[in-house]
Amino acid sequence: MAVDTQADWQDGEVVEAAPAADGIQRIVLRPERPRPAAPGAHVDVAVEIDGRTDTRSYSVVRGSEDGGLLTISVQLAADSRGGSRFMHTLRPGDGLRMTQPLQNFPLRIGAPRYVLVAGGIGITAIAAMADVLRRLKADYVLVYVGRGRDRMAYLEELVERHGDRIRVHVDDEGTPLDASALVDGVAGAGPAELYMCGPIRLMDAVRRRWHDRGLPAADLRYETFGNSGWYDPEEFEVEIPRLGVRTVVGGGRSMLEALEQAGAEVISDCRKGECGLCQVRVLDVQGLIDHRDVFFSDEEKRTSPKMCACVSRAVCAPRPDGAPGPSGVEGRRALLTIDIP
């Protein structure tokens, strides 16, 4: 199937809306111009936030053969910038603007073995891949990681469908995933491709071990939603001295949105930390930068004065996992001084 990356915006209708797990809404959409959804595809949806229209991307969990019905699932984010809140208000019969299925996380058919890793809501990008591999009778294992079973969407039906090919890790039950052991297992069993989608901490642990084991970079593929970081999102200030702009970025919105609202024109495209178009130059930071993009390399994140305004943030609080946070700024609000191209 051709890779579809050009958005064809069209009307869509909500056909079903019901909970899929705690805080996760399953929404079935009927697009005006159906196109089949390949595994890994997503749709962009126009969401209304405080009278403004913005775009959010949601993976297609399942699609009818002709693409006439597309199922997505939306987690109500504690730090929602408004998009997931809007999506949770949708009811059957509601209309919305949406694209056809778009693809930037394709499943390559023909690998000798597959390991699929889904963390939390990341299952939405992985479930359709597992279904296809099962139909193809491919050699695959699906690893599904979550904090608690009540927050793991589609868990029961996935267990039923994939039987002994699914491995479930639940933090609340004391069975968290050991990412290093997982990668070691993959490395020891011969060539395989690993596809993953989940929180940045999980994906980073897998990526690091993959790199340390010298496994082929091309065999590790992942999708990010650009909305999870090393630190909890907190309110911070950003200023652009050259333009006389200074504004507060609340915990529930992005720096890009705050800058736009303050009148600064920042170029952007994907708004999920992938394209790098929204990068700004950091002149000074009181606090630390929580890089949440997948555009810059680890090395660039450590040494370059650039950051992606659409997803990355500044913080003062310690890291939730106990690792050392910024020093000398505890209890204060981080202040970022930047310039834009």
Contact, 49 vs 41, CB < 8 A? no
**Residue of 121, 197, 278, 314 interacting with ligand FES (CB under 6 A):** 278
Cα 337 to the center of its chain, rounded Å = 27
Stretch that binds ligand FES, among 70-78, 114-122, 275-283, 319-327 (CB under 6 A): 275-283
Stretch that binds ligand FES, among 199-207, 215-223, 263-271, 331-339 (CB under 6 A): 263-271
**Residue of 270, 288, 316, 338 interacting with ligand FES (CB under 6 A):** 270
Which positions ≥6 away from 96 have C-beta within 8 Å?
11, 12, 13, 14, 29, 45, 46, 90
294 phi/psi in degrees, rounded to 5: -115, 15
- Asked if residue 220 binds ligand FES (CB under 6 A), the reply is no
Stretch that binds ligand FES, among 55-63, 66-74, 268-276, 331-339 (CB under 6 A): 268-276
- Asked if residue 83 binds ligand FES (CB under 6 A), the reply is no
Query: Considering the complex, what minimum distance in angstroms separates the CB of residue 226 from ligand FES?
Result: 7
| Residue carrying the six token digits 């390399």 | 297
- Asked if residue 44 binds ligand FES (CB under 6 A), the reply is no
Q: Is 125 helix (H, G, I), strand (E, B) or coil?
A: helix
Paired tokens of 96: 């919305």
**Residue of 273, 287, 325, 326 interacting with ligand FES (CB under 6 A):** 273
Paired tokens of 283: 């002149």
C-beta closer to ligand FES: residue 16 or 269: 269
Query: Considering the complex, what minimum distance in angstroms separates the CB of residue 33 from ligand FES?
Result: 26
**Residue of 23, 250, 276, 305 interacting with ligand FES (CB under 6 A):** 276
Which positions ≥6 away from 329 have C-beta within 8 Å?
286, 287, 316
C-beta closer to ligand FES: residue 25 or 59: 59
- Asked if residue 269 binds ligand FES (CB under 6 A), the reply is yes
Length of the chain: 341
Stretch that binds ligand FES, among 81-89, 123-131, 163-171, 264-272 (CB under 6 A): 264-272
Strand 245-249 to 236-240 pairing:
antiparallel
- Asked if residue 308 binds ligand FES (CB under 6 A), the reply is yes
Query: Considering the complex, what minimum distance in angstroms separates the CB of residue 257 from ligand FES?
Result: 11
Which positions ≥6 away from 303 have C-beta within 8 Å?
none
What's the rounded Cα separation, in Å, for the pair 77 and 186?
32
| Residue carrying the six token digits 């899929």 | 20
Contact, 15 vs 92, CB < 8 A? yes
- Asked if residue 277 binds ligand FES (CB under 6 A), the reply is yes
- Asked if residue 275 binds ligand FES (CB under 6 A), the reply is yes
- Asked if residue 200 binds ligand FES (CB under 6 A), the reply is no
What's the rounded Cα separation, in Å, for the pair 153 and 259?
35
> What is the contact surface with ligand FES in residues (CB under 6 A)?
268-271, 273-278, 293, 295, 308, 310
